[in-house]
Amino acid sequence: RLRAPRRATALLRAAAAGRRELAGSTPAPPSVLNRATGPRRRSTLVDLDAEPLAAAAHTLGASVNDVVLVAVGEAMRAAAATRGEHVDPVVVSVPVAVRGPRPGSTGNAVGVMPVAVPTSGDLVARVRAVTAQRRARLDGDHGRSLPLVLLAFRVLRVLHLVRRYLDRQRLVNTLLTALPAVPGPLRVGGAEVSAVVPLVPNRGNTTVAFASARYRGRLVVSVVGDPDTGPDDEAVAGAVRRTLEEVVALAGATVTAP
């Protein structure tokens, strides 16, 4: 008999934590890059040697994902600049695993962590700023926005307003999904997988989205965008590549392209 009140209390606490998390996030600045998208998508890939990038990230006290976030922010800044707009910061939605409230709970649930990526100043300072922000968020109630977000979307679905909300949301400018690095070769039906190409769906008013994966010593970043309303995906991919190479160069390493 006491389970329902206890569960309700736990849900309320989770929702409160989620509200604090979202309230503490930097709102996405208005941008020409956020507009309603159509049905078409196009993907362009960035393929780099992962080892120099990992070494550069280690030198800067950051993760590879931190460096990729900075590259995404710079690419978005450059894309907005071609349309006469300055965007700083770029708010990127990053999925994070949510640990359960009980000891030993696994992080199978996924929450949302908006990261405000600076687009001004030197790249090393930007990487360090993103790293500091990520660590501060992960030390707190990261991903606790999940119950609140799910509840909000349930209400929107009942009211048939999901598409309307996604076309007008102002929480993020873009999305980045980073797959965990795979240490060894994968096999499917006895055949070795030669490469992993990550793809991510983008809906609503995020005209371009990103996904990254590390496999067999390569880092692959996919740029998925709406070719009708979004920026040129090849130009965005080029900006991602140049930024990653520049960070590696600044950290005293080199990047070799395939």
Tens of pLDDT, residues 116-140: 999 999 999 999 999 999 888 776 5
From the list 25, 85, 38, the residue with the least C-alpha distance to 202 is 38
Residue 217: pLDDT over 90 = yes
* The pLDDT of residue 130: 97
Q: Tell me how far apart the alpha carbons of residues 120 and 27 are, in angstroms, rounded to a whole number.
A: 17
* The pLDDT of residue 166: 59
CA distances from 200 to 42, 147, 208, 225 (A): 11, 22, 10, 10
Question: 44 Cβ partners below 8 Å, 6+ apart?
Answer: 222, 223, 233, 234, 236, 237
Cβ pair 133, 115 in contact under 8 A: yes
Q: Tell me how far apart the alpha carbons of residues 121 and 22 are, in angstroms, rounded to a whole number.
A: 26
Domain 12-250 has CATH 3.30.559.30: yes
For residue 66, is it left (φ>0), alpha (ψ between -120 and 50) or beta?
alpha
Question: How many angstroms separate the first and last alpha carbons of the chain?
Answer: 63
CA distances from 239 to 70, 137, 193, 221 (A): 11, 27, 28, 12
From the list 6, 2, 40, 58, the residue with the least C-alpha distance to 207 is 40
Residue 68: pLDDT over 70 = yes
From the list 210, 152, 204, 132, the residue with the least C-alpha distance to 22 is 152
* The pLDDT of residue 24: 52
Is residue 115 helix, strand or coil? strand
* The pLDDT of residue 43: 95
- Sorted by where each begins, the domain ranges of the chain are 12-250
Dihedral angle of Cα 51, 242, 134, 114, to the nearest 10 degrees? -130
* The pLDDT of residue 175: 92
* The pLDDT of residue 171: 82
- Mean pLDDT in residue range 45-69: 96
Taking the complete model, does pTM exceed 0.75, yes or no? yes
Q: What is the mean pLDDT of the chain?
A: 81
Q: Tell me how far apart the alpha carbons of residues 206 and 198 are, in angstroms, rounded to a whole number.
A: 18
Confidence tier at 21 by pLDDT (50, 70, 90): low
- Which stretches within 115-232 are classed as H helix? 123-139, 145-158, 162-168
Residue 112: pLDDT over 60 = yes
Q: Tell me how far apart the alpha carbons of residues 52 and 188 are, in angstroms, rounded to a whole number.
A: 29
Cβ pair 176, 201 in contact under 8 A: no
Residue 102: pLDDT over 90 = no
Give the range with max mean pLDDT: 34-43, 172-181, 186-195, 238-247.
Answer: 238-247
- Of residues 258 and 214, the one with the higher pLDDT is 214
